[in-house]
């Protein structure tokens, strides 16, 4: 009996062991031993937070190189270091990722119907897509709070989830649970790289801003006294806040919802306040940068587009070098915009802050003259950004244009910027209606001249900012509308003495929608002029792209003689060359150039890191129709703070002192309180939501 059992057991055990031993030899599958090692150091909870099937799947992904050492979301830095040790990788600081809530509606959002079902957002979303009128907003039933395994999300007093940044481990559970896509996991880089999409919570001002600055959020931060927070929010989209706070034509204010109540919120004045607050206290707030990648990128042109592009590339971890043709950085900011609008010292302070991030600069280097793209490629630069601006002036195409005393607007302003004001005599005639013309006119006034501005259409058609035109009129610039130059009259030494002009009338509208001016025969008149400044249109100087002896150049141009670049990626016909700013769009605002700089930086970043530039179908391309209201009810009138002025009278017209001033803290409080904190369709009301009758429903935009 005992012998039997022993024999049977031993026999069975022996057979089993033999079969297994043989099988393990025959059926051996070569497997990377590191998979087991990596799996050993992972927590082994198989939570799936990393997106792979259990810890084994994660280990496989790490060994196959599909995932980095930081694959485990719950293990933290210790696990990452352990995995890194197995894989022989060095673990650098991981960029902090956090859940981020996009919607700002909450209890302000109107209800589409009265929902009384299960208290779960996903359940509610099954019913006509949810009970809120806004198609993208938070439903507020706290499903994210329920699924969060780290107790990091709580429904706040506004009916919106609030993420606790210390507890959040970016496990994506809430992102998966939310039926509205209100939550996302973002890092600092992801924020800088994000192109605004039609499903984002975008107030009209943010949609309209060419750089898509999150205006409602920074105004809210400023209102709460968190000026540093406001500065940081602006810097996510615009590194030139001191500059834009002064010279921005503020397209955002045109579509401000408050225009339907009283007047637009003074968005730019608020930006200027927080920017000035940083400068006047000499704070130089810390600007976070992603970890160094060591990729070299050449940014050609140190104007607003180039500065913005270099700034964002640096913050994404790359090493940009700005190459500038002029003796100092700033481009049109320094050589086009006069001192009284943008003091040079403020500009220098701002540029210094950007350069302090670790950006190299080469001055007095002109593309095509001192170097070529091929030279830079040989030096190790991997991508190129062309922010060369629009510095060539259009001609008046009239007799005597070559006469002494006829200069272009950019030439004139650049001379002033370089500190070499040209001798312009007493009588100055400026031809043109854009900002350059006004700048030239107002600068001439300050040089003590008698200035006349000639424009071929009427004041209503002038492309310059209204404030600028008013400012020029206040300072004594004489306007002659509906008049075009026909001939420059010279004396025998070839110096201009008079400008002959002809009166115009407005005819049929042309391509641009403006009525075409038509000359009236026999109305010629002569005006005395020592200097004639022609400021009629600027174009990029494209000659730098042609190498000597070759007819054709590799970069394509548009028929308006600007660089042809893809509108969403700003990639030119040479894949590694990107372009933005005035060089692509023709003369435009600073803020457009800043926006273009960021888009180009994004494209370059993706091209260098993942080899292609991802583009979402739902990228914001034009204003979202259902967010533009004709009336805004439930709001009380609050008068807009008038623009403060620093100087007036003689002081103003005889010196280059800055004219516009900064708000006081009380004025800032008033102005921020005027903001309606708009979302896509919700906004702050002064009366309770129940008392407002509304039938506004947004449409889902795919």
Output the six-digit token pair for 560. Answer: 């308006």
Between CA 438 and CA 441 the distance in angstroms is: 5
Examine residue 165 and tell whether it contacts another protein (CB under 8 A).
Answer: no
Examine residue 5 and tell whether it contacts another protein (CB under 8 A).
Answer: yes
**Rg, Å, the chain Cα set:** 31
Long-range contacts of 622-628 (CB under 8 A, 24+ apart): 623/204, 623/207, 623/208, 623/255, 624/198, 624/202, 624/207, 624/680, 624/701, 626/680, 626/681, 626/696, 626/697, 626/698, 626/699, 627/202, 627/203, 627/204, 627/207, 627/680, 627/681, 627/698, 628/204, 628/255
Task: Tell me which residues in 497-556 interact with another protein (CB under 8 A).
Answer: none
Examine residue 53 and tell whether it contacts another protein (CB under 8 A).
Answer: yes
- Name the burial class of residue 447, with classes exposed (0-12), middle (13-18) and buried (19+) by CB atoms within 10 angstroms of its CB: middle
Give the range of 46-54, 342-350, 485-493, 584-592 binding another protein by CB under 8 A. Answer: 46-54
Give the range of 19-27, 195-203, 338-346, 369-377 binding another protein by CB under 8 A. Answer: 19-27
Residue 558 DSSP code = -
Residue whose CB is less far from another protein, 8 or 628 = 8
Give the range of 90-98, 128-136, 138-146, 358-366 binding another protein by CB under 8 A. Answer: 138-146
Examine residue 166 and tell whether it contacts another protein (CB under 8 A).
Answer: no
Q: Contact with another protein (CB under 8 A): which of 20, 92, 466, 616? A: 20
Residue whose CB is less far from another protein, 25 or 636 = 25
Task: Tell me which residues in 55-74 interact with another protein (CB under 8 A).
Answer: 55-56
Cα distances (Å, whole numbers) of residue 494 to 43, 410, 430, 491: 87, 22, 20, 6
Give the range of 10-18, 477-485, 519-527, 616-624 binding another protein by CB under 8 A. Answer: 10-18
466 phi, psi to nearest 5 deg: -60, -40
Size of the site for another protein (CB under 8 A): 36
Q: Contact with another protein (CB under 8 A): which of 77, 96, 118, 687? A: 118
Give the range of 18-26, 351-359, 482-490, 668-676 binding another protein by CB under 8 A. Answer: 18-26
Give the range of 50-58, 190-198, 231-239, 408-416 binding another protein by CB under 8 A. Answer: 50-58
Give the residues across from 450 on adjacent strands. Answer: 427
Binding mask 25-44 for another protein (x = CB under 8 A): -xxxx---------x----x
Task: Tell me which residues in 176-195 interact with another protein (CB under 8 A).
Answer: 177
Cα distances (Å, whole numbers) of residue 247 to 157, 380, 589: 39, 37, 9
- Name the burial class of residue 509, with classes exposed (0-12), middle (13-18) and buried (19+) by CB atoms within 10 angstroms of its CB: exposed
Give the range of 146-154, 243-251, 464-472, 563-571 binding another protein by CB under 8 A. Answer: 146-154
Residue whose CB is less far from another protein, 170 or 275 = 170
Examine residue 147 and tell whether it contacts another protein (CB under 8 A).
Answer: yes
Output the six-digit token pair for 291. Answer: 């970890």
Q: Contact with another protein (CB under 8 A): which of 10, 32, 33, 45? A: 45
Cα distances (Å, whole numbers) of residue 92 to 37, 68, 77, 124: 21, 11, 10, 43
Nearest to 183, CA basis, from 76, 74, 98, 119: 98
Between CA 349 and CA 230 the distance in angstroms is: 19
From the CB of 40, what's the least distance to another protein, in Å?
9
From the CB of 242, what's the least distance to another protein, in Å?
45
Check: CB of residue 98 under 8 Å from CB of residue 185: yes
Residue whose CB is less far from another protein, 119 or 358 = 119
Residues that bind another protein (CB under 8 A): 1, 4-5, 8-9, 12-13, 16, 19-20, 23-24, 26-29, 39, 44-46, 48, 53-56, 118-120, 122, 142-143, 146-147, 149, 151, 177
């Amino acid at each position: 009996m005992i012998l039997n059992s022993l024999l049977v057991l031993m026999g069975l055990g022996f057979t089993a062991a033999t079969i297994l031993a043989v099988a393990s030899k025959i059926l051996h599958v070569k497997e990377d031993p590191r998979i087991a090692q990596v799996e050993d150091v992972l927590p082994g909870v198989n939570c799936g937070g990393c997106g792979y099937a259990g810890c084994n799947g994660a280990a496989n992904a790490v060994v196959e190189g599909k995932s980095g050492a930081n694959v485990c979301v719950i293990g933290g830095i210790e696990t990452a270091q352990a995995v890194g040790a197995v894989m022989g990788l060095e673990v650098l600081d991981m960029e902090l990722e956090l859940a981020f809530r996009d919607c700002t509606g909450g209890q302000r959002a109107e209800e589409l119907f009265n929902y009384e079902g299960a208290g779960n957002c996903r359940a509610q979303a099954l019913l006509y897509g949810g009970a809120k009128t806004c198609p993208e907003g938070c439903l507020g039933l706290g499903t994210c709070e329920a699924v969060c395994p780290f107790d990091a999300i709580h429904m706040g007093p506004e009916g919106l989830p609030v993420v606790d940044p210390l507890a959040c481990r970016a496990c994506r559970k809430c992102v998966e649970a939310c039926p509205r896509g209100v939550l996302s996991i973002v890092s600092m880089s992801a924020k800088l790289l994000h192109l605004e999409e039609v499903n984002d919570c975008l107030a009209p001002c943010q949609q309209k801003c060419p750089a898509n600055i999150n205006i409602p959020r920074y105004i809210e931060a400023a209102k709460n006294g968190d000026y540093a927070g406001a500065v940081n929010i602006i810097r996510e989209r615009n590194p030139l806040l001191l500059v834009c706070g002064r010279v921005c034509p503020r397209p955002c204010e045109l579509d401000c919802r408050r225009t339907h109540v009283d007047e637009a919120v003074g968005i730019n004045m608020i930006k200027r306040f927080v920017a000035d607050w940083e400068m006047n206290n000499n704070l130089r707030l810390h600007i976070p940068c992603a970890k160094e990648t060591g990729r070299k990128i050449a940014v050609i042109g140190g104007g607003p587009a180039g500065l913005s592009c270099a700034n964002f590339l640096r913050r994404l971890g790359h090493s940009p070098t700005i190459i500038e043709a002029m003796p100092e950085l700033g481009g049109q900011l320094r050589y086009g915009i006069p001192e009284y609008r943008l003091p040079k010292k403020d500009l220098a302070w701002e540029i210094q802050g950007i350069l302090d991030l670790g950006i190299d600069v080469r001055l007095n280097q002109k593309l095509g003259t001192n170097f070529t793209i091929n030279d830079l490629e040989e030096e190790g630069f991997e991508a190129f950004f062309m922010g060369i601006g629009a510095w060539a002036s259009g001609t008046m195409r009239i007799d005597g244009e070559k006469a002494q005393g006829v200069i272009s607007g950019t030439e004139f302003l650049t001379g002033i910027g370089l500190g070499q004001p040209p001798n312009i005599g007493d009588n100055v005639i400026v031809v043109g209606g854009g900002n350059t013309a006004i700048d030239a006119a107002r600068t001439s006034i300050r040089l003590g001249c008698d200035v006349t501005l000639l424009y071929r259409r009427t004041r209503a058609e002038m492309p310059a900012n209204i404030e600028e035109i008013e400012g020029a009129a206040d300072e004594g610039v004489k306007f002659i509308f509906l008049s075009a130059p026909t001939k420059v009259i010279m004396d025998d030494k070839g110096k201009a003495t008079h400008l002959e002009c002809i009166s115009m009338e407005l005819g049929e509208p042309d391509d641009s929608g403006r009525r075409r001016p038509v000359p009236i025969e026999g109305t010629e008149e002569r005006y005395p002029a020592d200097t004639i400044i022609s400021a009629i249109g600027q174009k990029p100087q494209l000659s730098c792209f042609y190498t000597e002896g070759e007819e054709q150049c590799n970069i394509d141009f548009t028929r308006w003689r600007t660089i042809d670049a893809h509108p969403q990626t700003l990639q030119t016909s040479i894949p590694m060359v990107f372009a933005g700013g005035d060089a692509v769009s023709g003369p435009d605002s600073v803020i457009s150039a800043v926006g273009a700089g960021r888009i180009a930086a994004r494209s370059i970043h993706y091209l260098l890191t993942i080899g292609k530039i991802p583009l979402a179908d739902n990228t914001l391309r034009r204003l979202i129709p259902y967010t533009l209201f004709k009336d805004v009810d439930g709001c009380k009138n609050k008068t807009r703070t008038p623009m403060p002025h620093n100087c007036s009278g003689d002081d103003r017209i005889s010196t280059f002192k800055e004219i516009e001033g900064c708000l006081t803290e009380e004025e800032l409080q008033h102005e921020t309180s005027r903001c309606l904190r708009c979302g896509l369709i919700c906004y702050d009301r002064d009366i309770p939501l129940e008392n407002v009758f509304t039938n506004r429903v947004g449409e889902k935009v795919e």
